[in-house]
């Protein structure tokens, strides 16, 4: 009887500790199962003690189970709130796929990724589903960036080739200097035509722009 009374007291202490939030749900389960195993191993009580101590034991177990149920409901509520937040982040990420400005889209998706990290856990069955939805939208935004960069590089390369061609034309044009005013006037007009074509081409890659312009300008100044 004394062993079973001690088990009941331990169950009461477990319920109190659990309700104070000092234990994980797994730790509560493990300790509860251990105490129940101890109860079974003690054996039967005398009839005079069996009912009273048994009722106390069942009441103490119920208090532990009550905590577990409350904890479960709170976790489910938290999972639900987190899921709603993650759905909102997915909605925002999907809208960024159609954002005209690449810079705004990329800055936006980076911000959403940071918010996702802070959005909390969801239920196990929803975790992969909602993550795949968000990841799909983010991947599409970054795919737009990749396409934009590749297109920009192609345009830069095209502009570089065009400017190298203009430099070559200018080198050919200025290889022999004129010997009369009419020829000077004609050369000046042709150089200005090349300059106009240069301005229409747009930029090459940043690392090439200054060198290309210095080459063209040097020939023109000469």
Instruction: Centre a 10 Å sphere on the Cβ of residue 124 and count the other Cβ atoms it contains.
Output: 8
pLDDT of residue 21: 66
What is d(CA 3, CA 91) in angstroms, rounded to the nearest whole number? 59
CA distance 99 to 118: 24
| Amino acid 196: pLDDT | 94
**pLDDT (tens place) for every residue of the chain, 222 residues total:** 778 889 889 888 888 887 776 677 778 878 888 888 887 787 666 665 667 777 888 888 888 777 777 677 767 887 888 999 999 999 999 999 999 999 999 999 999 998 998 788 888 889 999 999 999 999 999 999 999 999 999 999 999 999 999 999 999 998 888 889 999 999 999 999 999 999 999 898 888 989 999 999 999 988
The CA-to-CA distance between both ends of the chain, in Å, stands at 112
- What pLDDT does 47 receive? 62
Q: How many residues does the chain have?
A: 222
Residue-level pLDDT at 11: 85
In this predicted structure, what is the pLDDT of residue 46? 61
The predicted pLDDT at position 45 comes to: 61
DSSP 202: -
pLDDT of residue 84: 93
């Amino acid at each position: 009887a004394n062993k079973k009374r001690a088990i009941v007291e331990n169950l009461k202490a477990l319920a109190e500790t659990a309700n104070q939030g000092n234990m994980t749900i797994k730790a509560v389960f493990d300790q509860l199962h251990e105490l129940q195993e101890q109860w079974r191993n003690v054996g039967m009580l005398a009839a005079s003690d069996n009912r009273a101590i048994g009722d106390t034991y069942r009441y103490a177990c119920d208090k532990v189970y009550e905590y577990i149920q409350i904890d479960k409901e709170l976790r489910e509520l938290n999972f639900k709130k987190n899921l709603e937040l993650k759905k909102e982040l997915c909605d925002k990420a999907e809208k960024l796929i159609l954002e005209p400005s690449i810079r705004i889209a990329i800055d936006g998706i980076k911000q959403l990724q940071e918010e996702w990290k802070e959005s909390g856990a969801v239920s196990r069955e929803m975790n992969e589903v909602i993550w795949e939805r968000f990841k799909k939208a983010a991947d599409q935004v970054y795919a737009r960036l990749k396409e934009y960069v590749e297109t920009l590089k192609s345009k830069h390369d095209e502009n570089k080739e065009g400017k190298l061609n203009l430099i070559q034309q200018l080198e050919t044009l200025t290889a022999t200097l004129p010997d009369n005013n009419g020829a000077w006037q004609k050369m000046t007009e042709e150089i200005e035509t090349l300059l106009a074509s240069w301005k229409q081409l747009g930029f090459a890659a940043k690392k090439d722009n200054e060198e290309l312009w210095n080459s063209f300008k040097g020939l023109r100044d000469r």
